[in-house]
Amino acid sequence: MFTMVAFFWSRDGYNDFNTFYMQAASGTKGGSSGSPVIDWQGRAVALNAGSKSSSASAFFLPLERVVRALKFFQEGRDSFCDQWEAVTIPRGTLQVTFLHKGFDETRRLGLQSDTEQMVRNASPVGETGMLVVDSVVPGGPAHSLLEPGDVLVRINGDVITQFLKLETLLDDSVDRNIELQIERGGTPLTVDLTVSDMTP
């Protein structure tokens, strides 16, 4: 069974706050980064990104992220006949970090029971919680508009409870405005934000 986590190795090590990884107990060894991860049906679902030998935990990059990047490279190849040129892969960001918190925690943050029921009905079977703002970068697009503890309900009218769906939406909305519906202490709020590109 996989869980989704933000990738933080250590305080001074590698981290990526805009991509979330599958995590599973695994005996993955060094040198296997980039190898495919196969599910019980024999399907490739991710690429091995790294592991922590101290806890026997491994982290896997969901294959959807790899497929998206590959499409940009293929489009670049098709655009240039005689030579390759640099390919830019936009990565959308609000300069906000989110955590996935269980419904019991979102209720403690004030989430209305009607909102919870609506989210449960609109989400995949087995959904256990929602995305909650953890931190906001000062001066970023969400500064002064979002706060830690805000519970994300919808973006552009769609219920969003999973990191992968959030990332895909942000990546496809670079330099465009999106509408976030949140609850802050039980109070519904609507916030319009411009998605920026974190690609240097």
pLDDT in tens, 150-196: 999 999 999 999 888 898 899 899 999 999 999 999 999 999 999 99
- pTM score, two decimals? 0.74
Residue 30 has pLDDT above 70, yes or no: no
- The label of the residue with tokens 């409870």 reads 161
Domain ranges of the chain: 3-64, 92-197
Residue 97 has pLDDT above 70, yes or no: yes
On average, the pLDDT of the chain sits at 81
Of 134 and 25, more confident: 134
Please give the Cα distance from 61 to 68 (Å, whole number). Answer: 12
Query: What CATH architecture applies to the domain 3-64?
Result: Beta Barrel (2.40)
The predicted structure's pLDDT at residue 79: 60
Please give the Cα distance from 170 to 180 (Å, whole number). Answer: 12
Kindly list the distances between the CA atom of residue 195 and the CA atoms of 62, 63, 65, 119, 166, in Å, as whole numbers in the listed order.
22, 23, 18, 24, 12
Q: Which is it for the CA torsion 142, 168, 102, 61, positive or negative?
A: negative
The predicted structure's pLDDT at residue 11: 47
Kindly list the distances between the CA atom of residue 151 and the CA atoms of 37, 133, 192, in Å, as whole numbers in the listed order.
32, 7, 15
Judge whether 130 and 105 are in contact, CB under 8 Å: no
Fold held by 92-197? Pdz3 Domain (2.30.42)
Please give the Cα distance from 99 to 7 (Å, whole number). Answer: 12
Choose from 18-22, 86-90, 146-150 the range with maximum mean pLDDT.
146-150
